[in-house]
Structure 1
Amino acid sequence: MASLDTSWPLLAEVGQTYDAAAALLTALALLGVVGSLIMQAREMHIARMEGHRANHMELLRMAIDDPVYQRAWATSLPEFTQDHIRQHLYINLVMSFWSINFDLGTIFDSELQYQASALFQGEAGRRYWEVARLIRQREARGRQRRFVQIVDDEYRKAIDAGPAAISADAPASTPASGTLVSPDRARLFGIALGAAALIAAGAVTEHLLHNRTSRLR
């Protein structure tokens, strides 16, 4: 009996140890479930953003391609020519593309600064931001505040640097074959290459998001 009496405290300590371990494992399992739910909610939010972006891009493409839809914007852009409206809609499309990828973390501050600086070398980019900046500043939330701040800083730098280097209107004459590429065309080519790189990054992001959402179904 004496040996049994001395074993009860030991058994009690062992039981308490197992209880503590079980509680720790339960807490870890709960944290894993919470983390999984947070990740799923984030992925669903990103998927909704991608769907919204796709619809927005399609609407803008329709307006860019069809003069009938372009005239629907004439009341909000009364001083714009048809070419200016198309430029405005195109830049809005590019800006929205930058915005969604900045939210997703596929565009960093330095890349956004470079692209915005190149955009504001032209009259069309400056004209767009003059119209859109107050709206975007008012509606910015979360990381979008940082996005708008970076773009606006690059716009102010461009304005302080002097007149736009690239005209929004078509040149009066086309240079003959074999002539050197003008600085304006070189800048436009650089912007086009940058936009192509961002589009490629967006395509990869969209593919990854599609795979993630497929796993959630």
Structure 2
Amino acid sequence: MALRRPQPLNDLGRRLVRPVLLAVSTVLLIGALLVATVSPVIIDALYRGERDFSRASNIGQAYGAASALLAALALTVVSASLVVQYSQFRYERLQTVYQHTEDLVKLAIENPQYCQCWGSRMSPEHVDERLFYYCSLVIKSWTRAWERGGLTEREARNFLKSFFDSEVPRLFWQRHGDWHLYRKARTRAGRFMVLVNEEYLIAIKSGPPSRSHEPAPHIGRPGGRGTQRTE
């Protein structure tokens, strides 16, 4: 199952949104300041010697309204820029947390004795906990690919259909999924979890998985599978 590479425009667009908004807001603010600064001089030059001061006053009032609109537009752009910056910061912070969590999970997979430090057993007694940790990494990997545009819904469903055609992933999601709860997809990641739950329930209704749990061989234990004997 090869994941499609994220669309380059997605990452490029994410990097360009903040600089573009900052540039536009800066230009608008500078323009508003320049207009506010030089407008009295311009009006005075155009209507110098004009005895009808009411006309100049009307023009000044009209300019004041336009200036207020321009300032409001600039403020809106600046606010949008701040929102984008906060969203980007939050996204990067979450990615850092996810990466640290993945590193800890991988450490537990490589060193099974660390699994007990995560609390109660992740899996039933007859299933190696590392299999459940690995299932968790698979789901997280697909979730990230989905969030970044590297998976279409059709591809995601095909992957999940194959995933849940094995006994271990079914046991994993039965214990640690929220398939029994109603989930409203408020985010793109939430939408992917909806897909996971749907494909899990479809797999359960379809019957037993085609691949049953395969216990790992106990290397080095007398009488265990894979034990090498020397004459």
Shift of the alpha carbon at 1:67?
2.0
Asked if residue 124 in structure 1 is aligned to residue 171 in structure 2, the reply is no
Amino acid at match of 2:168: A
Give the unaligned 5+ runs of structure 1.
173-217
Distance 1:35 1:63 in 2: 42
Shift of the alpha carbon at 1:60?
0.5
1:85 to 123, 129, 141: 129
Matched with 2:65 is 20
Matched with 1:37 is 82
Shift of the alpha carbon at 1:77?
3.9
**CA deviation digits over 1:145-201, x for unaligned, max 9?**
4333221110011111121112331699xxxxxxxxxxxxxxxxxxxxxxxxxxxxx
Note the aligned Cα RMSD (angstroms): 3.1
Contact 1:120 1:164 in 2 (8 A): yes
TM-score between both structures, scaled by the size of structure 1: 0.65
Give the greater-gyration-radius structure (CA). Answer: 2
Shift of the alpha carbon at 1:75?
3.7
Matched with 1:53 is 98
2:138 to 78, 94, 97: 94
| Structure richer in helix, relative to its length | 1
Shift of the alpha carbon at 1:53?
0.5
Asked if residue 110 in structure 1 is aligned to residue 110 in structure 2, the reply is no
| Cα distance change of structure 1 residues 80 and 135 upon mapping to structure 2, 3 Å threshold | farther
Q: How many residue pairs align between the two structures?
A: 168
Task: Give the secondary structure class of the aligned counterpart of 2:86.
Answer: helix
Contact 1:123 1:166 in 2 (8 A): yes
Give the unaligned 5+ runs of structure 2.
1-48, 218-231
Shift of the alpha carbon at 1:31?
0.6
| Cα distance change of structure 1 residues 133 and 108 upon mapping to structure 2, 3 Å threshold | same
Distance 2:152 2:125 in 1: 33
Shift of the alpha carbon at 1:13?
2.0
2:196 to 151, 159, 171: 151
Amino acid at match of 2:108: A
Distance 1:57 1:136 in 2: 26
**CA deviation digits over 1:17-50, x for unaligned, max 9?**
2112211110111011101110010001101110
Distance 2:134 2:209 in 1: 18
| Cα distance change of structure 1 residues 99 and 78 upon mapping to structure 2, 3 Å threshold | closer
Larger displacement relative to structure 2 (132-141 or 62-71): 132-141
Task: Give the secondary structure class of the aligned counterpart of 2:208.
Answer: coil
TM-score between both structures, scaled by the size of structure 2: 0.62
Amino acid at match of 2:109: I
Amino acid at match of 1:52: V
Matched with 2:13 is none
Contact 1:137 1:148 in 2 (8 A): no
